[in-house]
C-alpha cells in the first residue's frame, strides 16, 4: 500500500521499487559502478544503503554460482545524498571455491566507505545453529511502523518523508520514543521484511538484507540503558559493519532480528545481532560498533 498524502513517506511496493532502483548501479567499466541516493532522505547517506550498493558492485564481478557469505566494512566519511557515489571494485582473488573482492565507495575523490566481501561456492558440510528466541510475538500481532509513529508526532522528523521499503515491527519499544518511555531491556528485537516483492536473485536478497541490517542494530546499545535517540537522548553514527550469511533466504519474507550489546565504553558501543526466519532457521549474523554521544555534548 502506498501513501496518498503530501509529505508522507512512500511505503510498500512503491518504496521497494525505489530501493531496487537505488541498488541497480550503473556500470561504468568492468570494475567501476555508480550509485544514486533516494531523492528524499536524511542529510547523510544511510549506512545500509552504501553497504548494500558496495555489495552490489562487488557481487556483479563474481560468478553468480558463488554466494556472498561474509562482508566487513568501515564507514569513513558521511556520504552526501545529493551526489552520486562511485564504487571501485578490486579483484583480490578468485580461487577454486572462494572469490574475494574489495569495494570502495567514493565521493569527491575521497573514500566514504570500504568493504571486503567473500563469496563461496556452496558445499555440503556440518549444519547447526543457535536456537531461535522463544515467546516472541508473531509479526502480525505487533504494531506497524505507521501505528507507532502516530504516537510520537513530535519525533517524526525525517521519518515522515523518507521512503520506507522495509516493514519493521518492534517487539519492544523503538529507540526513537520519548525519553522515559523506553524501559531497559537487554535485547532489541524486531521483525523485518522488504515490504513488497523482490526478483528471484540471491545477490539482490543479500544486498537488501545488508540494507536492512543497519537500521536497528545500534538501538540495542541504547536498549540496555533504556536510552533513546534524539532530543533528551543520544546521537550516533555507525563506525563499521560486519555481516555473515549462513543460509539461503528471501529478504521479502519475515525474519526476526535479535540484537543485543555485549559492551559500551569510551563513547562507543558494540552491537551484535542474529536473524531467524519464521520457521526458526538462522540466516545471518551481524556485528557493528557505533559512536554514541549525548545530544548537545
For residue 285, being part of any structural domain is answered with: yes
Q: Residue 96, class by beta-carbon neighbours within 10 Å (0-12 exposed, 13-18 middle, 19+ buried)?
A: exposed
Number of domains in the chain: 1
pTM: 0.93
Whose CA is closest to 213, among 184, 245, 181, 186? 245
Residue 221, domain CATH: 2.40.160.210
Q: Per the domain annotation, does 260 fall within a domain?
A: yes
Question: Rounded to an integer, what distance in angstroms lies between the CA atom of residue 284 and that of residue 274?
Answer: 6
| 97 burial level (CB within 10 Å; 0-12, 13-18, 19+) | exposed
In a domain, 279, yes or no: yes
| Domain boundaries, position 228 | 13-121+139-294
DSSP track, 218-280: THHHHHTTT--BSTTSEEEEE-EEEEEE-S---TTS-EEEEEEEEEEETTEEEEEEEEEETTS
Helical (H) or strand (E) element with 57: helix 47-59
pLDDT in tens, 227-283: 999 889 999 999 999 999 999 999 999 999 999 999 999 999 999 999 999 999 999
Burial call 64-76: b when 16+ CB within 10 Å, e when fewer: eebbbbbbebbbb
Straight-line distance from the first to the last Cα atom of the chain, in angstroms, rounded to the nearest whole number: 41
Catalytic residues: 214, 238, 288
Q: What is the mean pLDDT of residues 88-110?
A: 98
Mean pLDDT of the chain: 92
Tell me whether residue 6 is in a domain: no
CB 144 within 8 A of CB 167: yes
The model's pLDDT over 163-219, given as tens digits with 9 standing for 90+, comes to 689 999 999 999 989 899 999 999 999 999 999 999 999 999 999 999 999 999 999
Task: For residues 246 and 273, give the distance between their C-alpha atoms in angstroms, rounded to a whole number.
Answer: 13
Strand partners, 292: 236
In this structure, is residue 219 part of a structural domain?
yes
Please tell me the predicted confidence (pLDDT) of residue 268: 98
Burial grade of 197 (CB within 10 A; 0-12, 13-18, 19 or more):
exposed
**CA 279 to chain centroid:** 22
CB 269 within 8 A of CB 292: yes
Rounded CA separation 263/273 (Å): 13
Answer whether residue 4 is part of any domain. Answer: no
Amino acid at each position: 500500500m502506498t501513501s496518498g498524502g503530501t509529505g508522507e513517506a512512500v511505503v510498500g511496493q512503491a518504496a521497494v521499487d525505489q530501493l531496487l532502483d537505488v541498488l541497480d548501479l550503473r556500470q561504468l567499466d568492468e570494475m567501476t559502478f555508480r550509485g544514486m541516493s533516494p531523492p528524499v532522505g536524511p542529510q547523510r547517506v544511510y549506512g545500509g544503503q552504501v553497504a548494500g550498493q558496495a555489495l552490489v558492485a562487488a557481487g556483479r564481478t563474481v560468478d553468480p554460482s558463488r554466494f556472498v557469505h561474509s562482508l566487513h566494512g568501515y564507514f569513513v566519511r558521511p556520504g552526501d545524498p545529493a551526489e552520486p557515489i562511485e564504487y571501485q571494485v578490486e579483484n583480490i582473488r578468485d580461487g577454486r571455491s572462494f572469490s574475494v573482492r574489495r569495494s570502495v565507495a567514493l565521493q569527491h575523490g575521497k573514500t566514504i566507505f570500504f568493504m571486503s566481501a567473500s563469496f563461496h561456492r556452496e558445499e555440503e558440510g556440518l549444519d547447526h545453529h543457535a536456537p531461535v528466541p522463544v515467546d516472541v510475538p508473531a509479526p502480525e500481532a505487533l504494531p506497524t511502523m505507521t501505528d507507532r509513529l502516530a504516537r510520537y508526532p513530535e519525533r517524526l522528523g525525517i521519518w515522515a518523508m523518507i521512503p520506507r521499503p522495509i516493514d519493521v515491527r518492534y517487539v519492544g519499544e523503538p529507540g526513537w520514543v520519548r525519553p522515559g518511555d523506553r524501559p531497559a531491556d537487554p535485547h532489541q528485537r524486531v521483525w523485518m521484511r522488504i515490504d513488497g516483492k523482490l526478483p528471484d536473485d540471491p545477490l539482490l536478497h543479500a544486498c537488501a538484507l545488508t540494507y536492512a541490517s543497519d537500521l536497528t542494530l545500534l538501538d540495542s546499545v541504547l536498549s540496555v540503558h533504556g536510552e533513546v535517540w534524539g532530543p533528551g537522548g543520544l546521537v550516533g553514527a555507525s563506525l563499521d559493519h560486519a555481516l555473515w550469511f549462513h543460509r539461503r533466504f528471501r529478504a521479502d519474507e519475515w525474519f526476526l532480528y535479535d540484537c543485543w550489546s555485549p559492551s559500551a565504553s569510551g563513547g562507543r558501543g558494540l552491537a551484535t545481532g542474529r536473524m531467524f526466519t519464521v520457521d526458526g532457521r538462522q540466516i545471518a549474523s551481524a556485528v557493528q560498533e557505533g559512536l554514541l554521544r549525548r545530544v548537545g555534548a
